[in-house]
Amino acid sequence: MERLTYIVVLLVYLVILGLVGVFSSRRLKTSADYAIGGRSIGPWVTALSFVAAYFSSVLIIGGGAFGYKYGLSTLWIGASNVLVGCALAWIILGKRIRRMTEETGSMTISEFLGKRYGSRAIMMFSAAIIFLFLIIYNVSVVKGMANAIQVLVEIPYWGGVLVSGLIIVFYVTVGGYLAVVWTSFIQAWIMIGGLILLTLVALSRVGGMATAVGRLSAMDAGFVSTPGLWGWAGLISFCLIVSFGTWGMPQLVIRFYSIKNVRMLRIGTIVVTVGGSVALLPYLNGALARILHPAVANPDLAIPTLTKSVLPPIGAAIFLAGVIAAGMSTFAGVLIISSTSLVRDITEHTFGRKLTQAEQIKYARIANIILGGAAILIGLRPPSLILVLTAFSWAVIASTNLWPLLFGIYWKRTNPTATLVSMVAGAGTALVWTRLGNPLGLHGFIAGTSIALVIIVAGSLLSRTDAR
């Protein structure tokens, strides 16, 4: 009976998502509709879809895994998500990106950077990095969804990958960005409700917050101190990569492209900050899972295990839908970005093949099927810890795009040559640093963005030629 409840709730939810994709397809008239919703999305939908795409199953499952391993110090990661990744990102980036991308007619980060700096090489390199590493990121998202389905629905891991992945590919391919943003809006509410429900019940089960702190301290004092078992280098690195690093992530930045007008950014900033506060809950629940289930072999299964043990079947089914909702939102956002980048940045702008509006939509749909299928296939045999995989892909993408985007909207003197060199050096440093095992305990994101920052600033100051 319990398993049947999970299956029924999940099937109903998946059918709803598929219908959203079908209905969204009826509003698609131009490639701009397919790629960025025709720049017509309201503040509530934009903000909550941002929350869903940002946090996803990576936060719920992966954040819970880190809370399980390192304890309450990981709450600082959630706090940085809210302040830096949500509030400051909207305040600092939103208005200028919305205005400048409309002025340049850009639909992707790579296209904007290419036009801003007057450089095809910048656009090509940015597009290549986004195209490759967003597929890697989507693997971590698929893994998070599949882990939850595996524990709660009791089907093999590969079945969870296929169930979650194929429905996303369907509704994104059919409905484009409109399907992505509206399903994300629905998914945000389910995710928020599921996390709040799990947290309240889990806290009650352990006897309240004060009791939880005492029991964790009795296990190891490092579970309740800062930086605790993790250490300052690891904690600060991850706070930065999953908060400041999001400023260069295309599936989030695209929300600023699509919002209806800059006036709506004020409402959106409030909504995204309040909604984003749920980022604290997975880390807390991971620590609570350590109390109730101290012998979980795989930390990525901590949250699904906690859910199954403390919630009744209908509650666990709702939470499962929340995890699937969060993961689908991110996967869908990444998929539409990747396919749009492939068609516009690589096919049209790099190889110079001009496509009609109908052809752009057609090829974007084909790209969605191919790229989504690739992520699903890789997701069948992924690395272990979700957040490790996520942080690796974020490190490379952010080291490539963060400074060119930020300086591109705020500093006219930023030099195209310095920008391209900083992008290549940043991405290369992040890759090498990660390959070397993160020397000094610092994540590749810190190394990559630091090198990129020095090069873009020094190169621009030394140059006498302003960017176009």
Pick the residue with more confidence: 136 or 232?
232
Mean pLDDT of the chain: 86
| Mean pLDDT, range 129-136, rounded to an integer | 82
| Mean pLDDT, range 231-256, rounded to an integer | 85
pLDDT at residue 467 tops 50: no
The per-residue pLDDT for range 452-466, each reduced to its tens digit, is 999 999 999 988 644
State the helix-helix crossing angle for 120-152 and 357-379, rounded to 10 degrees: 50
The per-residue pLDDT for range 294-316, each reduced to its tens digit, is 988 888 889 988 988 898 888 87
Range from 64-73, 76-85, 125-134, 450-459 carrying the lowest mean pLDDT: 125-134
pLDDT at residue 75 tops 50: yes
Q: 259 by DSSP, 3-state: which?
A: strand
Q: pLDDT above 90 covers what percent of the chain?
A: 38
Looking at residue 126, what is its pLDDT?
92
Could you tell me where the DSSP H helices lie in 153-231? 157-206, 209-219
Looking at residue 468, what is its pLDDT?
43
Q: 226 by DSSP, 3-state: which?
A: coil
| Mean pLDDT, range 136-141, rounded to an integer | 76
The per-residue pLDDT for range 368-412, each reduced to its tens digit, is 898 888 888 888 876 555 556 666 777 899 899 999 999 999 999
Q: DSSP class of residue 41? A: B
Looking at residue 414, what is its pLDDT?
94
Residue 80, both tokens: 């940085």
Q: Which CATH class is domain 2-387?
A: mainly alpha
Q: Sorting pLDDT into bands at 50, 70 and 90, what band is 199?
A: very high
DSSP string across 43-93 = HHHHHHHHHHHHHHHIIIIIIHHHHHHHGGGGHHHHHHIIIIIIIIHHHHH
| Burial (CB count <10 Å: 0-12, 13-18, 19+), residue 467 | buried
Q: DSSP class of residue 169? A: H
Looking at residue 96, what is its pLDDT?
94
| Mean pLDDT, range 207-213, rounded to an integer | 94
Distance between CA atoms of 362 and 357, rounded to whole angstroms? Answer: 9
Bridge partners, 41 (sequence order): 259
Give the Cβ contact number of residue 72 at 10 Å: 24
pLDDT at residue 89 tops 90: yes
pTM of the model: 0.86
